Amino acid sequence: MEGEASIFATKMPTSIPLSTNQTSSVGCPPVGIHLEGLILPPILTIDVILGLLGNLVALWIFCFRMKVWNPNTLFLINLVIADFLVLVSLPLRIDALLRGYWVFGDGLCRINLFLMFSNRSASIGLMTVIAIYRYFKVVHPHHRLNRMTKRQAGYVPAFIWLLVIGPRVPMLAFNHIKGSGAKTQCFFFTSYKEASRAIIVLVGMHRILSVLEFLFPLALLLFCSARISCILRQRKMSKAQNVRRAMRVCAVIVAVFFICFLPGTVTTAGLWIIASNRPLDCASFYTFTQLTIVSFGLNFLNSALDPVIYCFSSSMFRNALRDSLPKALRCGEKGDGEAATSTSGTRSTEGQELKSMAAVEKK
């Protein structure tokens, strides 16, 4: 296929009518985007408002309300950073959608596209690390990974960021501005007849990464969830608090994966298949283009949903958040004596569970 849809190229001129029988030597023409200017502005605006509110509260708690940081906290704070990077760039995209053209120049266009595509990869990688860390804490409590120092734990998100940024750096090397004046657009995908060979390769690499970076982490998440459920039931610990917490963490992360990242992965794979096997099926190409546009609105919803992950995956964060609320808003708060007794009992129970797990592992 020699035609590729634009992403976030708003209010482009009306496209040439598409037909599955089109046999033009140049393939499908560039597709005119009509849904984008109608659907994405309200969706992205909601993403930005909810995401900034939730992540600002999370950042305040991490920096000023939590006195002790553990490896899980370091992973979470990196997820906050990933969310902020994309949330501060989305208003530029919303402005372009509402205005109908891009007014911020080539430099901000490159940075904007780089941040938007990097956020998805960073969020997926960091959420997977959080789930795996919880898996080792519960299923393999004596593994040396559970004894990581904060400095050692810092290497993990650093490695994730290298994996994320490396393949996206080439996006910063190319001019993605199309048109001029009131027709200026900032988008990554373009028609192949207007693109250089390097851009075509970059688009192909993006497609492959978009699919693989979803499928491989999802497989790890499902494995962790299944192992936590299976092994801990065998050890008769299914009612333990740490077990329930681990299951909730994995369930929430898997839910975010399916809601935010699955639609975009499916539509990207659809465009990939059409490009490879049905290059002149312009009607299918147009359909998947529109679905891809809608899916990108969900893609950035993860930045608004991530604060839910903070609450489920860190009891320290949850307690700090509860203690920061006015007493009238603290749902189900116990008295000091009862809370102390409950906390002591929970620690005692968890200690017995760890001893029991150690005994089982020795057998």
Q: Write down the pLDDT at residue 167.
A: 87
Domain contains 34: no
Q: Quick one: pLDDT band at residue 197, thresholds 50, 70, 90?
A: confident
Q: How many domains does the chain have?
A: 1
**Rg of the chain (C-alpha set):** 24
Q: Quick one: pLDDT band at residue 185, thresholds 50, 70, 90?
A: confident
Domain contains 166: yes
Please report, rounded to a whole number, the percentage of residues in the chain having pLDDT higher than 70: 75
Q: Write down the pLDDT at residue 124.
A: 93
Cα separation, 215 vs 257, in Å, equals: 10
- Half-sphere exposure of residue 322, counting CA atoms within 13 Å on the CB side? 13
Domain contains 8: no
Q: Which residue has the higher pLDDT, 360 or 56?
A: 56
Cα separation, 119 vs 122, in Å, equals: 5
Predicted TM-score (pTM) of the model is 0.77
Give, in order, the Cα–Cα distances in Å from 116 to each of 135, 149, 240, 281: 29, 32, 40, 29
User: What mean pLDDT comes out for the span 241-253?
Assistant: 82
* Residue 9, pLDDT above cutoff 70: no
* Amino acid at position 69, single letter: W
Domain contains 347: no
Domain contains 282: yes
Tokens of 300: 């950035």
Q: Which residue has the higher pLDDT, 26 or 49?
A: 49
Asked if residue 102 lies in contact with residue 185, where contact means CB atoms within 8 angstroms, the answer is yes
Q: Give the domain range for residue 236.
A: 39-325
Inter-residue long-range contacts of 15-19, CB under 8 Å, 24+ positions, other chains counted: 15/286, 18/282, 18/283, 18/285, 18/286, 19/282, 19/283
Domain contains 15: no
Domain contains 345: no
Burial class (CB in 10 A: 0-12, 13-18, 19+), 283: middle
pLDDT tens profile 323-355 = 887 776 666 554 444 344 434 444 444 444 444
Residues in Cβ contact with 236 at an 8 Å cutoff, skipping those fewer than 6 apart: none
Cα separation, 332 vs 338, in Å, equals: 12
Cα separation, 116 vs 198, in Å, equals: 20
Domain contains 356: no
CATH (domain of 235) = 1.20.1070.10
